[in-house]
Amino acid sequence: MRGTELPDGVYWSRPLLRPLQPLQVLASRQTFMAISDDPQDESSLSALLEQVEHVPLAVNLLANLAQVEPCDSLLRRWDAEKTTMLQRADGTTKLTSLDVSISISIQSPRVQAEPAALELLSLLSVLKHGPLDTDLVVMTSDTRRSSLAAALPVLLRTALCQRMPTGRLHVLAPIRQFMLKNYQLSEALARPFHTHYFSLADLLLKERGLIDLSVPFLLAEMDDIIAAARHALQTGYEPRSSINGALAIGRLYVTDAVGSPDVLFDALRIAQAQGFHDLHAKCLDLWAGLVMAGAVPGDSLELWHQARMLFEKIGDVDGVIDMTLQSVKLLPLPAALASCEQIRPLVQSHTSRSSKFLPRFVRDLGYLYQRAGRSRDALDCFHNLIAIERQLPTDPRATAFAMYRIADIESDIGHFIRSHSPTSRAHRSSAQRSFAAPSC
């Protein structure tokens, strides 16, 4: 059993030695190689040691296994078995089994005497980096806050968690995996915990233009949001809330390239299994966006087609229009025009209830007409777009786009002389001012 508190009644030399910490990366690698005595693939070895966060006993036990098994195989075993694989000989003592070593700390009188200690450790073990003390206040309910606060010193003294230089309350990876496998987070703790992290994901998505998500603190926070979402999806906590949380994470990856898109596929699987057609379609749409961004493999056109079919099934007109307009980006020109013409009545009939897609539809249709050489139809669309934006202003860039396209078309159909006409010059000048203006 490790701990951070010195026994009473012993005169210790000064300065006091720090409690045993994880090894530095180089020392961890040297220790592993000294025990395994077998050259290993560098990338697999680094990944393996990171999985156990360079904890000395875990490094020792992994190195013993590596004497007869390569690191890539050990990595696959770790994904399936976690800490149960880390043992040697009979695996019945704290030096030959990581699970035994962790269990000794968990079953110590000090931990067992504090009923909330294991609950708090279960909560902290979900997160990769861990919360600040102030986060514990907002991620726990009023009725449990005081008991969990009293349990924290117990976990710190028994080294089951540690306070990092950043102020985060961190649980080392082997202990996290042991707790996740052997101790379930109670419903009373799970609800405010997941609500906090899903709300945080929504907030970051909403305010992403005002904050720099690349700073280390927010990157760590993003890792913890992903860990909370993955835990919620894997444990079946409130499926709809969990899927929406995963969608927010995926959108942040598309817009700001932070976090990871992997959690989306757990959400997609659950949405499909639960028959949540709306969320299933949104997952497919986001997957298509990730494909377009080059983040994951897939067929964007097919994914948008599947999403549209799901939206049609539940009568979601906004979804049908959105997926059609997404698809036209990839369709051949004749097929793209046919798709837009097909949903034109739908857009027009739906405008009285929701006008958010009308400017986008008119803009895209006008651009397709221009590409097809239907200049008069294109001009009608772009003039309509300007009129729509005057009545329902949504984005000054749409007006600028329309003005620029009108000037471009007039230049083409009127040749050189018309391109210098007052109308053409006015459109180009207005477009330049609109593009220069900040987006509202």
What are the residue ranges in the chain where pLDDT is below 70?
1-19, 351-355, 414-440
DSSP state of 97: B
d(CA 235, CA 227): 12
pLDDT reported for residue 2: 56
Distances (CA, A) of 391 to 385, 386, 388: 10, 9, 5
What domains appear along the chain, each with residue ranges and CATH number?
Answer: 1-113+151-179 (no CATH), 355-440 (1.25.40)
- CA 325 vs CA 1, 209, 250: distances in Å: 61, 25, 21
Joined tokens for residue 278:
């709306």
Distance CA 281, CA 319 (A): 8
Backbone phi, psi, residue 163, to 5° = -95, 120
C-alpha 34: how far from chain center? 38
**In 315-357, which residue ranges form alpha helices assigned H by DSSP?**
317-327, 333-350
> Given the structure tokens 């005081």, which residue do they identify?
146
* pLDDT tens column, 349-359: 876 666 678 88
Rounded Cα distance, 359 and 392, in Å: 9
Rounded to an integer, what distance in angstroms lies between the CA atom of residue 376 and that of residue 361? 17
Q: Is the pTM of this model over 0.85?
A: no
pLDDT value for 142: 86
**Per-residue pLDDT at 15:** 65
Q: Residue 394: what residue type?
A: T
pLDDT of res. 438: 31
Q: Which residue has the tokens 């008069």?
A: 376
pLDDT of residue 22: 92
38/380 Cα distance (integer angstroms): 73
Token pair, residue 329, equals 């980006």
Q: Tell me how many degrees the CA angle 197-201-204 measures, rounded to the nearest 5.
A: 130
- CA torsion angle for 52, 54, 56, 57 (degrees, to 10)? 10
Phi, psi at residue 128, to the nearest 5°? -70, -45
3-state DSSP call for residue 87? strand
Q: Round to whole Å and give the CA distance between 56 and 349.
A: 67
Question: Distance between CA 304 and CA 289 in Å, rounded?
Answer: 9
Q: What is the pLDDT of residue 260?
A: 87
Angle between helices 263-274 and 239-256 (to 10 degrees): 140
User: What pLDDT score does 354 carry?
Assistant: 60
